[in-house]
Every structure is written in C-alpha cells, then in structure tokens.
Amino acid sequence: MSKAVVIIPTYKERENIERIIPIIEEDVFPQVKNYQMFILVADDNSPDGTPEAVEAFAKKYKNIEISSGEKKGLGAAYIRAMTFAIEEMGADVVFEMDADLQHDPAKIPDFLEKIDEGCDMVIGTRYSDGGSIPAKWPLHRKAFSVVANLFVRTVFMRFYIHDWTGGYRALKKEVFLKEKHELTKFSGYIFQISFLHKAVRDGFKIGEVPFHFGERSLGDSKIAPIGYIMQVITFVITTRITELQRVIKFLIVGGTGFIVQLVFQEFAANVLFVSVIASLRDGLSAGFGAEAAILCNFMFNNFWTFSDTKHIKQNSHFMHKLIKFNLATLLSVFIQFLSVYLFVHFLGEDVMLFGMSLKTRIVVLFPTIILLVIPLNYFIYNRIIWKTHHLKDK
C-alpha cells in the first residue's frame, strides 16, 4: 500500500499541535482506506515544549515522527522534512499543512482522491468556488490577500491556478525529488510560490481542492508581512523577466534564421537546382534553405538563447547536440519541402498577391513557418535539445 506523510511544520506551536494531532489521528486517518498514513512534525527546536508534546504523542500513536533541526525558515524546514519523509519513512505522497488548524484536516481525503485521479501536486485553494478566507478578517487584510494572489496569477499569466501562496498541499515524491535542488535558496515562506512555479513549469499535473481558510485561535503567526511581500514581488517579477527574455531572444534568432533561409533558398533555386522541374526544384530549395536556417539557429540558440541551461556533463556535448538537433528538426525541413512542393505543384511557380506576382516558394514559407515550424521548434528546443538537465541527487 502507498504511504502518505502529513508534514506539519512547527515553531512554538505546542497548544496547536496538541489539538491537531488527535483530530488527524482519530477523525481523519480512519477514513483513508488506500494509503498508510503518517504524521511528521518538522520542528525547529521550539523552546515552548512543542517537541516534547510530539514525543509524547509518538508513544501513543505509532505513526508519528519528528524531524528536529536548526531554525532556518519554513522552506528549509519543509525541505528537510520532505527529504526525511521520502528517504527514511518511504513516503510516496507528502502533505504540507499548518499546525494552527487554519487548514482543515478533514480535507485530507480530498487531496488523496485528486492524487489518485492522476494529479502530481494538489493545491488547497482559498480563492476559488468552495474556498474562502476568514469572514471576520478586516477589509484591508482580505483585500490584500486577494490582490496579492491576483498579482501573482496575472504576472505569471497562469490564471488556472487559484492559490499560489497557500501552504495546504499534497504532492507525489517525484515532484519534490525533481525540484528539490532548485528550492534550497527559498528558505522562507517564498518556498511555496517557487515550488509551485517550478512544478508548473516542468509540466506536472496540478489539481485543486478548495477549502475554507480558518482563523488562528491559539499562538501567533510567524510570517513577517513586509519582508514576505517584498520577496513575493521580487520573485514573481524576476522569474517572469527571465521567461520573457527567452521568448524575445527566440524571436530575434528566428528572424535572423528566416533571412538566412531566404538567401540560401534563392541561391539553391537559381543556381543549384535550376535544371530540376519547378515544383521539385522549389521544394528542394525550400528544404535546403530550411537546413541552413536550422544550423544558424542552432548556433545562436546554443550560445545565446538557451545558454543558461545546465547540462549533466559540461563539455563535449556540442556535436552530440548538433546531431540530435538535426534529427529532431528533420521534420521541419521535410514539412517545408512538402509544403512548397505541393503549393508550387498546384498553384504554379508564381502567385498573384496584393496585385503583385510573387514567387510561390517564398509566399508559402510565411504560413508554413508561422503555423507549423515555429511551434514545433519551440517545443523541440525546450523539451528535447536544451532541456534543463539536473544533477541527480545522491
């Protein structure tokens, strides 16, 4: 049976942990049939008796563990605890959940259901139908909470995720193992946004469970609002700029490639393949031009657009990549050959457009490249050639 570990980070939460553990153990875990359930408290040596309270529970319930460590922030505590849950406790799924009962433990089975439906990461959301923030919050706090999330959703242009900052989640171990090494620099609450952003970027399937975010009745919030807001703004904007830069570079490279393509195509049509019949000549010339453009794009993209991607082995990959690149883009050479061949075959060498007689082989390139080649190439570049490889954790 699969194992799921509910990780509860704590710093000075003795009263809360004493309330939440019996609720989870007595009311929630018995409802879960298809997972073996555990609790892991990630405590940073709280001086108020939190770890002692957890030790006492661990004697009563055999499925409770504690991971103690130095206080380095919420993100650092989660990274330490998730590593422990996966490596030492054999977790297949881990939960993130606050100790203060603002995250209703009764929702745990809903998260697991989403995982069983095929989601890799499930987000508890306060800002979609069925979710909410406390009605008693003063207006400015409500407004801030809603605006902050809307800001993140807008800047990221990913509206389908309704809650970027929350800390009630479940995820498969694969998601954590893949992103772990990139998360170490996000040691505070910013861990939440950055983790979700990377999971989305890497194509993990995200699900949502709406929930009512309760009020904290005991103890104090540990968040430092101003510092946190600054971190969120900085993170979201710098991340977005990096993503946009790549798109802009890609467009510049593409434009240059197009000119190279035209020059080589016309050279081929007028010199190399002059004696071949028109449709075949123009098709071959288009393929020839496409190959020249591909080589040009490869150089640019390798040394510029995607130069920041890390590779498992640093050197010696150039030829290997070039060959792989050519194989992957053969399809687009063929598409351009075929498209020009067919159009010239059926429409003739020249077409009338805007009252001018133009070479079919040139006109056809525009729709072909825009509709087929660019989307195909962008996909191949990102997913195959300059895929960001990560060093495997030992």
Q: Which does 189 bind (CB under 5 to 8 A by kind): Mn ion, ligand GDD, none?
A: ligand GDD
Report 30-49 residues binding ligand GDD (CB under 6 A).
Answer: 42-44
Binds ligand GDD by CB under 6 A, chosen from 31, 221, 238, 270: 221
Binds ligand GDD by CB under 6 A, chosen from 147, 223, 263, 358: 223
Query: Residues 350, 357: contact at Cβ < 8 Å?
Result: yes
Binds Mn ion by CB under 5 A, chosen from 13, 100, 208, 291: 100
Instruction: Quote the DSSP letter at residue 202.
Output: T
Please state, in angstroms and rounded to a whole number, the distance separating the CA atoms of residues 291 and 374: 14
For residue 27, the minimal CB distance to ligand GDD (Å) is 19
Total residues at the site for ligand GDD (CB under 6 A)? 23
For residue 261, the minimal CB distance to ligand GDD (Å) is 49
Please state, in angstroms and rounded to a whole number, the distance separating the CA atoms of residues 38 and 65: 8
Cβ-count burial 287-321 (b if 16+ within 10 Å, e if not): bbbbbbbbbbbbebbbeebbeeeeeeeeeeeeeeb
Please state, in angstroms and rounded to a whole number, the distance separating the CA atoms of residues 265 and 258: 10
Quick check: 192 binds Mn ion (CB under 5 A)? no
Measured from each CB, the residue nearest to ligand GDD is: 167
Cβ-count burial 11-34 (b if 16+ within 10 Å, e if not): bbbbbbbbebbeebbeebbeeeee
Nearer to ligand GDD, 215 or 393 (CB): 215
Q: Which does 77 bind (CB under 5 to 8 A by kind): Mn ion, ligand GDD, none?
A: ligand GDD
Report 121-180 residues binding ligand GDD (CB under 6 A).
Answer: 165-167
- CA-based max dimension of the chain: 90
For residue 9, the minimal CB distance to Mn ion (Å) is 10
Q: What share of residues in the chain are helix, strand, coil (percent, to 5)?
A: 55, 15, 30
Q: Give the binding site for ligand GDD (CB under 6 A).
A: 9-11, 13, 42-44, 71, 73-74, 77, 98-100, 102, 165-167, 189, 192, 221-223
Q: Give the binding site for Mn ion (CB under 5 A).
A: 98, 100, 102, 216
